[in-house]
Structure 1
Amino acid sequence: MLVLDNPVRVRPEARQQLLDTLQSNKIPDEYGLRIGIRGGGCGASWLLGFDIPGTSDEVYNVEGVRIIIDRKHLLYVLGAEIGYEPGGFTVDKDPPA
């Protein structure tokens, strides 16, 4: 079985914003940031939101942030970097080589 320590990266400004959001909204500890994709092909977009892990999810602790990734999405999100800019969160990912 493959074990990944950090399948994604969380930039410091995103980490702080996530932790502040969780605390200020009193979101329970069992929640985490779900990262995935929606759609496919040219119409794919990033999925980010707070959620509770399900049976098909992998859960990671990345820089103190609980990250939830559906096993079906793992290949697509590997190496993604979560950032934060005024107006919201960003996701950067280099295309596969």
Structure 2
Amino acid sequence: MIKVSETAKKKVVELMADDGYNAATDYVRVGVKSGGCSGLSYDLKFDKEQQDGDKVFEDNGVKIIVDKKSFLYLIGTTLEYSGGLNGTGFVFNNPNANRTCGCGESFSL
């Protein structure tokens, strides 16, 4: 399961509307791909449809889909949104990550 903080929810709803998506019916697709200085990086985009094998969650009013492969890396992750001094953007609090890079965009297990 992936959790969504209240600040992340507000930003997701805003960005989805800006891009022509509807937070009530469309999805946030969260994935993991190779890359970044720690080996793996997060991928977040909007999607209107599920694919075969996707895991589907809903938390805090946000519908999330995760592909089967990425799911294993993301179990227990919380999606947050930060507007602090270190920059603005989505932050993944992933209990499975052993190491993260300084920019917070990549991790290793």
TM-score interval, smaller chain = 0.7 to 0.9
Please tell me whether the aligned partners of residues 60 and 66 of structure 1 are also in contact (alpha carbons under 8 angstroms): yes
| Moved segments of 4+, more than 6 Å | none
Task: Name the TM-score, length of structure 2 as normaliser.
Answer: 0.70
Q: Hey, what does 2:28 align to over in structure 1?
A: 33
SS in 1 for 2:29: strand
SS in 1 for 2:16: helix
Task: Name the TM-score, length of structure 1 as normaliser.
Answer: 0.78
1:72 to 69, 72, 96: 69
Q: Count matched residues.
A: 90
Q: Hey, what does 1:4 align to over in structure 2?
A: none
What per-residue deviation string (whole Å, max 9, x for no partner) do you get for residues 3-53 of structure 1? xxxx0111110011111222343314553111111017x411111111232
1:46 to 42, 49, 67: 42
- Structure 2: 5+ residue stretches without partners: 98-109
When the two chains are superposed, the root-mean-square deviation of aligned CA atoms in Å is 2.1
- Structure 1: 5+ residue stretches without partners: 1-6
